[in-house]
Each structure stands twice: as structure tokens, then as C-alpha cells.
Amino acid sequence: MEKRILGNTNIEISPVGLGCMGLSHAFGTPLEKAEAAEKIQAAYDMGYTFFDTAECYTGTNPDGTTAYNEEAVGQGIKPFRDKIVLATKCGVKFTDMGMELDSSPSAIRKAIEGSLRRLQTDYIDLYYQHRVDPKVEPEVVAETMAQLKKEGKIRAWGISCVEKDYLRRAHAVCPVSAVQNVYSVIDRDTERLFSVFEELGITLVAFTPLAKGFLSGRYAERPTFDHPEDNRSGRFQFSEEGFQYYQQALDLIRSIAEEKSATMAQICLGWMIRKKPWIVPIPGTRSPERMKENLASADVALTAADIAKIDDALNKMGLADAAVRRMNRPQVSK
């Protein structure tokens, strides 16, 4: 399988990564730790070498205890830790008041020690600032990351949900290797930053590349997500209005999937993989069948002409409406 290089490093990753969040956070009842670990091991056996988690990805077990995503991931990757690339994040915690941001040097250092313990490792390959903290200057965050690199606790660092100016300032102090932003065929706002990513040699790690499963074509009508810890129910794409708004896009992807003898998910992922050599999607799933399907998207035969055709059709649909993008973009759970 074709490998990709992580940003300005020599770190090789699979062209599709596994977003591990849904194993224990925001998608209903957390899996038992052993079961979640088995899913991760199955993904590795298929060819995944890039796994993404975060300090704040937690859920509530049926017995009321906390399910830590990092613990499940750590257990899952333990047999092949040195053969994969592990990403986790700091700077975000969930409280009764909502999302709490803290990217101070002391908070980052406390966070990484906790992550290293839960992940059962002594280094993180890619360490993200999970959200920009307006109380802390980017240079301060970058300098802290530079120190962690010198200490051997991280190999590279990145930022999730970032804008151009902050990214440039941080990169000037300690080169940023990856940006993790929302990106899919129905949310292309991140393309505004493509010229910066190319200039600085940064990998775009695309999260929610299938709009939380919406773009898979699995849902013929509006689904109901009743579990209190399943955040899909509040997403615009799953509303009555959203289904109507994106119907043309779904029809487009479905027709191309039929033409290419692929699934809709594979077309959506293959579209971004073939668009740029520095884009790596990290769809999340609990299903080994979907894992296999998603990974195979790297082999879908989409040409430059196919990509241009899709982009042109999407542009004509007017899906760049800012108000809709805001409703569609994840706010707290990712």
C-alpha cells in the first residue's frame, strides 16, 4: 500500500488513518476496553498504521465509570507500538459547563504525562493542540512543543481547528507537521488554507471526512440517535433541512460510485486522497467491514479529471454557504 509522509518529517503513515474517538466517545455506549482494543488490532492487520485519539475522548460505561479512549488505544496498539504512528491531543477538557480550553505550558506537560501513562508508551508520534486557546499565544505553545521534542516525548506536533495567522506564528517557532481540520465533500472551507499547507509542508489530517457517516449513503431517511452520548443527532446534515440541502451532493457521489464500482464512502475519501498527496482522512468506525472499505478508498481509480468534475459539480451546488458550514462544523465533541 502506498504510504504518505507526515508533513515536514520522515514519518510514514497509511493513506487513511483510523479515528478512534467513536470507540468510547460521542457515538453512544463505549465499547468494552478489550473489545475496542480488538478493533484497533484488526485495523492494523488490514494495513492501518495511523491511529488518532485524544486526552478528552471519554465516555460513561454502563456501570458509571469513565471509559478513556486512550486506554483502549494503548491496549490495542501495544503489540505493534513501534510499527505504527500514534496521534493524541491536549488542551481540551469537558466539564459540566462545557468545553474548557487550557494550552498553558503546565497544562500541556500535565496532559502529556497522563496520555503517555494511559497509552502505555514513552513517546507520542504526533501531538496536537486540540483547540486554539485564546489565553495563550501560539509562540508559547510552540516553544513548549519544541521542548517536548527535545526531550523525546513527541516526534512531531500539530494543531486542530486552526486559522492561517495562528498557524504561521506557531510554525515560525517550531515547525508544525499537521493540521487536523474538518474536511469533506460537503464542508470544503479548509481549502482556504491549502496554499499555506503547501508552502509550509504541512499534512492536512481530515476529520469527519464522511460527515459522521452521512456521506456513506447508509441513511435513506433521517436517522434517530437516541443515546445521550451520541452527538450525531444535533448535526445539520442529519436534520430534515440537511437531508434536502445535501441531496444533490449525495446523488452526485452515488452516481460516481456506480461508475467506478466503488462505495460512496470510497469515492468521498478517494476524492480527497487523490486531490493532494498531503491529505490523509481519518474516518472513524466500530465496524471492521467499514474499516476495510475505508482503507480500500486509497486504491479507487479517480483521475485528476474525475476530481475536477466532482469539484465543479459541488461548486455549482453552492455548498459553500457560510451559515450552513457553521451548522455542520463540529463544535465541542471532536
Residue range 52-57: mean pLDDT, rounded: 95
pLDDT of residue 24: 84
Q: CA–CA distance from 31 to each of 18, 71, 325 (Å)? A: 16, 12, 31
pLDDT of residue 144: 98
Query: How many whole angstroms separate alpha carbon 196 and alpha carbon 149?
Result: 23
Per-residue cell: 268: 468521498
pLDDT of residue 323: 40
Give the predicted TM-score (pTM) of the model: 0.89
- DSSP letter, residue 185: T
Number of alpha carbons in the 13 Å side-chain half-sphere of residue 162: 28
pLDDT of residue 328: 46
Mean residue pLDDT across the chain:
89
What is the per-residue pLDDT across 149-201, written as a single tens digit (0 to 9) for each?
Answer: 999 999 999 999 999 999 999 999 999 999 999 999 999 999 999 999 999 99
Is a pLDDT exceeding 50 seen at residue 31? yes
pLDDT of residue 256: 95
Type of residue numbered 24: S
Phi first, then psi, for residue 48 (nearest 5°) are: -70, 135
E strand or H helix at 65: none
Residue range 29-41: mean pLDDT, rounded: 92
Is a pLDDT exceeding 80 seen at residue 300? yes
pLDDT band at 95 (very low <50, low <70, confident <90, very high): confident
Q: How many CB atoms lie within 10 A of CB 215?
A: 25
Residues identified as active-site: 57
Of 205-219, 270-284, 309-323, the least confident:
309-323
Query: How many whole angstroms separate alpha carbon 79 and alpha carbon 73?
Result: 11
Beta bridge partners of 187: 184
**Closest among 157, 149, 154, 78 to 118, alpha carbons compared:** 78
